[in-house]
Chain A
Amino acid sequence: MSAPLVLSARSVAKRFGDFEALCALDLEVKTGECVGLLGPNGAGKSTFIGCLYGVVQRTGGELEVFGMDPAGQARAIKRRIGVVPQENALDEGLTVLENMRIYARFSGLKKASADERILQLLERMSLETKRDATINTLSGGMKRRLTFVRALLADPELLILDEPTTGLDPSVRHLLWETVTSLRSQGKTILVTTHYMHEAEVLCDRIVILDQGKVVAAGAPRELIAQETPGYVGIFSGDAQEDIRPHLKADWEFFHQGHQCCVRAPAFDDLLELQKSAGVDALQLRPANLEDVYLKLTGSELKQHD
């Protein structure tokens, strides 16, 4: 038996004047799933997220969140979701506790239970000592953790994270990953956008790659890699390309990434052999990952097939 759908989008479109931000986007998210939305800046990720809670009005297609249409029932939907927006949008002059109390009120929490909930979440995000600190004294990482607290206040069923870890140091990132993972294990549904492929690979059951307002690929991270870019990748310095080229086989892929050139081959041994026969050492040899899939599908201008 399949889990009920939290989100279902069929041919969702959004047009801003002549610009099609979303065209015929299809996406389904089941209860308890963690789905990652990837795609270049301007691919339509934030536009799509805006459609889910009614700040962006779609211009076509059908969209349901918890079986409700955001075009008419945004408030009912918003009672069941928590959002970490791209900008923190905290009130800089207020304290941590004041900020959270305001949002607890917005979300309809009763005063007595609100404080208890706030303190519990602050503790969970290691912010309990900062409850009386003014926001503008907090570090970027603390502010980001606080927006997680804010998003979780009303114990939402669906959590929407819009680039939650952009610009954060690795330890904060790991804390946030841990939080997301533990929320997932509690059965929450999570929709996350990110530019960090590793993050998507670690967190998400399923990846959806958007480009120019369309879904260009979707699937579990391992599946996508196996489908789109199977094998192993060797990264060489750009100077090595003349030495490498004569030794490439027909089913390998050769492409440039910035000043480096890369070879993707079916087996790790292929790359070891290539090093020997071409007489060059790779800068790195690794299994193909989500970044390779992403760049193959969206980064056409950065990639040159040979």
Chain B
Amino acid sequence: MTEPLVTLRLGWHVVVRNWMVYRKDFLANISPTLADPALILGSLGLGLSPFVGQIQGHSYAQYLAPGMIATTALFTAFFESSYGFFVRMTFESVFKAMLTTPIGVSEVVLGEFMWVFIRAALMALGVAMVLLLLGLLPNLWALIVAPFVAGTLALPCAAIGLLAASWVRNINQFQTVYSFLIAPIFYLSGVFFPVPEKSWLAAIVQLSPFYHGVKLLQFTVWGHFPLGEILIHSSALMAFAVVLALCSFHRMDRKMTS
């Protein structure tokens, strides 16, 4: 078997390992990723809809809906790859044993990305079905497309988590990363309100992979197909995924070997 195929297969074994551990606490594990979007929709969506009026032709609940899929992808990926990975790396020493087998750091990190992609995609499917039940999914194709977009969006978010995991000296420092990076990304990338055009915010959010994912999911859920914009946002998202993933491979290689 050629080397890339070996890497892919070993990365998949890491996914299987993560799944075996994950399913032991299945309910505890899926709760936050499903409950948070439901809570946001329930409180902000229902509560604010009568006051907010229409945004871009949608009720506030309809406006929020696509962002909930993006939110699931962001939090699934970031928490898994920051706290989750850090715990596996330091407290559980999982990789110390894993790296004595034919698995190398590349396979550990690749496995992490594959795992996060699959989890985010499945969670996105779950959220999309909830949206469908609530009558907030006008485009049924979103049930198929949204998981792929969410999985792709999860990759740069996971890379940010891995970079954080390679930088922090102790687990409390993730709080800083969350407060000053993830939370602003979450609140300002168009989930809760449209980013005003030609504003300083519009310029800044271009640098956030999450913003491009939110845009793509809005098109998906609402059933809009502005080809040019789709092309721009998906290219930007892919570019962030590739660049950040490469950085995290490099950082983790230096972190896990010496």
**Chain A residues close to B by CB (< 8 Å):** 16, 50, 53-57, 74-75, 78-79, 81-83, 85, 87-94, 98, 102-103, 105-108, 147, 150-151, 160
Interface residue B94 (Cβ < 8 Å from any Cβ of A): yes
Asked if A92 meets B92 with Cβ closer than 8 Å, knowing A53-B100, A85-B97, A102-B20, the reply is: yes
Cβ B258 vs Cβ A55 within 8 A = yes
Cβ A55 vs Cβ B97 within 8 A = no
Cβ B102 vs Cβ A94 within 8 A = no
Residues of B near A88 (CB, < 8 A) are 97
Q: Which of B10, B25, B93, B257 contacts A106 (CB 8 A)?
A: B10
Task: Other than A89-B93, A89-B97, give 20 A-B pairs with Cβ distance below 8 A.
Answer: A53-B99, A55-B99, A55-B256, A55-B257, A57-B258, A74-B104, A85-B97, A85-B100, A89-B92, A90-B97, A91-B20, A98-B20, A102-B16, A102-B20, A105-B13, A105-B16, A106-B10, A107-B102, A147-B97, A150-B97
Scoring B residues 224 to 258 as 1 if CB is less than 8 Å from chain A, else 0, what string do you get?
Answer: 00000000000000000000000000000000111
Residues of A near B21 (CB, < 8 A) are 91, 93-94
Residues of B near A54 (CB, < 8 A) are 104, 257
Cβ B102 vs Cβ A106 within 8 A = yes
Interface residue B101 (Cβ < 8 Å from any Cβ of A): yes
- For the complex, give the distance between the alpha carbons of A220 and B94 in Å: 36
- For the complex, give the distance between the alpha carbons of A275 and B233 in Å: 90
Residues of A near B98 (CB, < 8 A) are 89, 106
Residues of A near B92 (CB, < 8 A) are 89, 91-92
Nearest 9 A-B pairs (CB), nearest first? A83-B100, A89-B97, A106-B101, A89-B93, A87-B93, A102-B17, A93-B24, A105-B13, A78-B102
Residues of A near B188 (CB, < 8 A) are none
- For the complex, give the distance between the alpha carbons of A128 and B113 in Å: 36
Selected A-B contacts with CB under 8 Å, 29 pairs: A16-B258, A50-B258, A54-B104, A54-B257, A56-B257, A56-B258, A57-B257, A57-B258, A75-B102, A78-B101, A78-B102, A79-B102, A83-B97, A89-B93, A89-B97, A89-B98, A90-B97, A91-B92, A92-B92, A94-B24, A98-B20, A102-B16, A102-B20, A105-B13, A106-B10, A106-B102, A106-B103, A151-B100, A160-B100
Chain A nearest Cβ from B250, distance in angstroms: 14
Interface size on B, residues (CB 8 A): 25
Scoring B residues 9 to 45 as 1 if CB is less than 8 Å from chain A, else 0, what string do you get?
Answer: 0100100110011001100000000000000000000
Residues of B near A53 (CB, < 8 A) are 99-100
Residue of B nearest to A82 (CB): B100
Interface residue B96 (Cβ < 8 Å from any Cβ of A): yes
Asked if A102 meets B102 with Cβ closer than 8 Å, knowing A50-B258, A93-B25, the reply is: no
Asked if A87 meets B13 with Cβ closer than 8 Å, knowing A50-B258, A55-B257, A75-B104, the reply is: no
Residue of A nearest to B99 (CB): A55
- For the complex, give the distance between the alpha carbons of A16 and B258 in Å: 8
Residues of B near A82 (CB, < 8 A) are 100
- For the complex, give the distance between the alpha carbons of A122 and B240 in Å: 47
- For the complex, give the distance between the alpha carbons of A92 and B24 in Å: 11
Cβ B94 vs Cβ A91 within 8 A = yes
Cβ A78 vs Cβ B24 within 8 A = no
Chain B nearest Cβ from A241, distance in angstroms: 46
Residue of B nearest to A84 (CB): B100
Residue of A nearest to B103 (CB): A106
Residue of A nearest to B256 (CB): A55
- For the complex, give the distance between the alpha carbons of A81 and B257 in Å: 18
Q: Max chain B CB contacts within 10 Å: which of A50, A55, A151?
A: A55
Chain B nearest Cβ from A76, distance in angstroms: 9
